[in-house]
Amino acid sequence: MNFSTVLSLVLMLVQLWPCSLSTQNCSTQNTDQAFTAVRRVKRGWVWEPLFVTEEQTSMVPVYVGQLKSDLDKQDGNLKYILTGEGAGSTFIIDENNGKIYVTQKLDREKKSFYTLRTQAISRSTQLPVETESEFIIKVRDINDHEPQFLDGPYVATVPEMSPEGTSVTQVTATDGDDPSYGNSARLLYSLIQGQPYFSVEPKTGVIRMASEMDRETKDQYLVIIQAKDMVGQAGAFSATATVTINLSDINDNPPKFQQRLYHMNVSEEAPVGTTVGKVFAEDSDIGENAAMNYFIEEDSAGVFDIITNNETQEGIILLKKRVDYESKRRYSIRAKVVNRYIDYRFLKEGPFEDRTVVKINVENADEPPVFTLESYVMEVAEEAMSGSLVGTVTARDPDDDDCPIRYSIVHGMHFKRLFSINEHNGTIITTKPLDREIASWHNITVTATETRNPEKISEANVYIQVLDVNDHAPQFPKYYETFVCENAVSGQLIQSISAVDQDDSAEGHHFYFSLAQEATNNSDFTLKDNQDNTAGIFTAKSGFRRQEQFYFYLPILILDNGTPALTSTNTLTITVCDCDTEVNTFYCRYGAFMYALGLSTEALVAVLACILIVLVFFLAIVAIRQQRKKSQFSAKMEEFRENIVRYDDEGGGEEDTEAFDISALRTRTVMRTHKPRKKVASEIHGLYRQSLQVGPDSAIFRQFISEKLEEANTDPTAPPYDSLQTYAFEGTGSLAGSLSSLGSNMSDADQSYDYLADWGPHFKQLAGMYASHRSVRD
């Protein structure tokens, strides 16, 4: 027989339902049926549901129910076995009658159901008489948990003036009890604090606006919400949460000026852009809802302007034009302020703007003189005589007292004083003649100063144009290098010429070209005026001979159209070139150069060849001399290497402050051969021995130095040719005398080294070496 039994403990009851293991399909029985059934047979199994509360499981063991097979004859032959979750520990079964007991306290929040399996076995055969069946024991909940607000405390924001019913936020509480059975987890929300401004939906916990509220009156509210389980019935658990609700600002208030009338003052000396004053409008809103812009609404003169300080929300009135106390002393303007961002929902409340009147008084000040013009333009003819009138500047004192004015010219550091001004009437005259070709315009600065208050000074620029006078004759613009071929034909164009004039012509320059009077009968060349400020030079004959005439000088007369007209004579030099009909400029220049030198081409080639030969010969001599010097120096170096003497004698240590003269070791006397070596050495060494016993002022010492100097001067072959030799006086000598070998050419019999043994072990060994060396030589 294939079936299953489900044992369910729900809330205060424990029920058993049979389930089929083959289909894994458990059918939950109706609760009412479970309460009324006393005994039911299902596919060979008989079960009886019992009423057991969750609280009763604290008194264990507690009888849960009984399983009985319809094959059970009540003779004790069947044995009931229980396996699965909690079998043997939480749940036990009486193997004789199939009664199930719970041995531990059950908690639905920890485990809501248990899956068990049961089987009936014959005691005689030890074989199952029924197939194994599965049971699900469900634990029914009781109200043993309080609601909890897990996300509290809450903070919410809602715009001010929101209409009634606007959702603010939602609070949610949780309950650990089973929400699917009974009312243990069914919560009910209520408002403990926050009336009459807010309300809460009992089932959802949604907080809503109960009335319109103004942020400017109060911007924050504290609301307390309570949640109760068991749908608020007696004995229910409860919890509370705090909700802080902030009202955000909207633009529902217009700006208002603090004053309906402002009084300000401005000096007539104030420059454009000066701050005249400030106006301020208040707005109860905050942030961008309080942002505003200021405007000048009525200012017919356009003298003032207003800007908005975005940080302080002030209107700053600025001077747009200069004011003059003598012209107008009072101004009245109307300023307007408007919200920058407008909420059109509240336009019905009125315009979001305000107006005020600003009265501005102009303060009188001692102003500097004012020129009638900002700048002056004057004209004067060039070469006008000194003292000629240029023009007049005029300034006045704008103040009522009309102070006298003194005029002067500001002269720069490098400005030549070409003009002067009458300090009383402002008349400008020249101080020397002007030349337009040097400077056609002169810019000077004239100052006007009040005589009573020298600090009040104003300036004006005066631009003086020097008018041109035709005082410069036209001339060639450059030097024309003109050539004519020997084989040129008559009427051939050889040169186009033009002219320039330093003067300025109002109608434009026009020049007229012609041959000078002395060249009108010239039979070699002619001139044609092109009537466009250019002219052409043409040959008047065919064929020219350089041998007869190499250069032609053609005087040309140039006339301008000035008043009075001026002329100039310019000479055009024409060179005859050895060419056919077309001129080769480079070749012709070369021929002209040779003609100027008076040489022919063959002569020039010969001169260059001679110069080249001389240069080669000179270089060869220099190379030979350099080779000789190098060979001679090499030979001398070989000689130097043969005569190098090295001394490694050791002195007496740090206490030997009067050692031998090392400079004597560096002497080059051994390399000089112009005197017999032994004779010179003997004389010098003798003097040296004597100098050790005397001071530097001694005649013997001076004689020693003289001998050394004479030796160096009389030896021209000893390198270097220019040398510095130093001889240091070391004192009167030590008791042991000199250890140097400079005196080695003297007899060894004069030397006794026994005393060196008294200086210590090292010198004793040195004495033995010298003594053995003397004995060997002997």
Is the pLDDT higher at 522 or at 264?
Answer: 264
Query: For a pLDDT cut of 70, what percent of the chain falls above it?
Result: 72
Question: Average of pLDDT values for 732-737?
Answer: 52
pLDDT band at 384 (very low <50, low <70, confident <90, very high): confident
- The yes-or-no verdict on residue 447 having pLDDT over 90 is yes
Query: CA-CA distance, 673 to 715, in Å (whole number)?
Result: 8
Lowest mean pLDDT among 127-131, 566-570, 585-589, 706-710: 585-589
Domains in the chain (CATH in brackets) are 50-140 (2.60.40.60), 148-248 (2.60.40.60), 256-363 (2.60.40.60), 370-467 (2.60.40.60), 481-577 (2.60.40.60)
Q: How many CB atoms lie within 10 A of CB 130?
A: 22
- The mean pLDDT of the chain is 78
Query: CA-CA distance, 512 to 507, in Å (whole number)?
Result: 15
pLDDT band at 44 (very low <50, low <70, confident <90, very high): very low
Lowest mean pLDDT among 131-145, 374-388, 504-518, 626-640: 626-640
pLDDT band at 664 (very low <50, low <70, confident <90, very high): very low
| DSSP track, 62-123 | EEEEEEEETT--SSS-EEEEEEETTBTTTEEE-TTT-EEEE-S---TTT-SEEEEEEEEEET
Distances in Å between the alpha carbon of 148 and those of 170, 177, 367? 15, 12, 83
pLDDT band at 281 (very low <50, low <70, confident <90, very high): very high
Residues in Cβ contact with 521 at an 8 Å cutoff, skipping those fewer than 6 apart: none
Query: CA-CA distance, 720 to 705, in Å (whole number)?
Result: 20
Query: CA-CA distance, 419 to 429, in Å (whole number)?
Result: 6
Q: Quick one: pLDDT at residue 395?
A: 94
Summarised one tens digit per residue, pLDDT across range 111-159 is: 878 888 888 898 888 888 888 888 788 877 777 788 999 988 999 999 9
* 3-state SS track over 706-727: HHHHHHHHCCCCCCCCCCCCCC
Is the pLDDT higher at 392 or at 580?
Answer: 392
Q: Quick one: pLDDT at residue 54?
A: 61
Summarised one tens digit per residue, pLDDT across range 405-437 is: 999 998 765 456 889 999 999 999 999 888 888
* Structural tokens at position 672: 């000089």
Q: How many CB atoms lie within 10 A of CB 213?
A: 19
Highest average pLDDT, of 57-66, 358-367, 631-640, comes from 358-367
pLDDT band at 581 (very low <50, low <70, confident <90, very high): low
CA dihedral of residues 616, 622, 628, 630 (deg, nearest 10): -120
Q: Quick one: pLDDT at residue 680?
A: 46
- The yes-or-no verdict on residue 738 having pLDDT over 70 is no
Whether the bond between 720 and the residue before it is cis, its omega within 30 degrees of 0, is yes
- The yes-or-no verdict on residue 718 having pLDDT over 80 is no
The DSSP code for 341 is: S
- The yes-or-no verdict on residue 670 having pLDDT over 50 is no
Q: Quick one: pLDDT at residue 99?
A: 87
Q: Quick one: pLDDT at residue 9?
A: 33
Q: Quick one: pLDDT at residue 43?
A: 46
- The yes-or-no verdict on residue 684 having pLDDT over 80 is no
Question: Average of pLDDT values for 179-202?
Answer: 88
pLDDT band at 689 (very low <50, low <70, confident <90, very high): low
Summarised one tens digit per residue, pLDDT across range 282-308 is: 998 898 889 999 999 887 778 999 999
Is the pLDDT higher at 113 or at 647?
Answer: 113
Q: Quick one: pLDDT at residue 198?
A: 95
Q: Quick one: pLDDT at residue 764?
A: 67
- The yes-or-no verdict on residue 747 having pLDDT over 70 is no
pLDDT band at 677 (very low <50, low <70, confident <90, very high): very low
Q: Quick one: pLDDT at residue 580?
A: 67
Is the pLDDT higher at 220 or at 676?
Answer: 220
- The yes-or-no verdict on residue 507 having pLDDT over 70 is yes
Q: Quick one: pLDDT at residue 519?
A: 76
pLDDT band at 706 (very low <50, low <70, confident <90, very high): confident
Side-chain-facing half-sphere of 199: CA atoms under 13 Å = 12
- Name the β-bridge partners of 370: 396
* Structural tokens at position 63: 């009888």
Q: Quick one: pLDDT at residue 716?
A: 67
pLDDT band at 682 (very low <50, low <70, confident <90, very high): low
